Amino acid sequence: MQRDADASRSPAARSRRRLGLVLLVVVLAVKAVVLAPHVGGALTALRTPDPRWLLLAVVAELLSMLAFARVQRRVLASGAPGCPCGGWPRSP
């Protein structure tokens, strides 16, 4: 299907598309070379995490999940007044 669309395009449109792809590859290659030292430092930090930061991240994630559950409970309660939101809906 893509080949049919490419065949119907003009040669100028195809060359612009190829030029765009080449530019994209060049930009990504330059970014990879420039950011390589920073990625190495990040990987080193991931290999030896500080337990305090790890504990802080777990607590923050737990609080985030609790806040999401609270918002979901309010949304469900406002949309279905007869629905028991204290637990899972029970099947008859």
pLDDT tens per residue across span 60-76? 999 999 999 999 988 88
For the question of whether the overall pTM of this predicted structure is more than 0.85, the answer is no
| Calpha distance 92→89 (Å, rounded) | 10
d(CA 42, CA 31): 16
* Tokens 């809906």 -> residue: 89
Distance CA 84, CA 92 (A): 13
Q: What digits encode the pLDDT tens for the residues 25-64?
A: 999 999 999 988 888 888 888 888 899 999 999 999 999 9
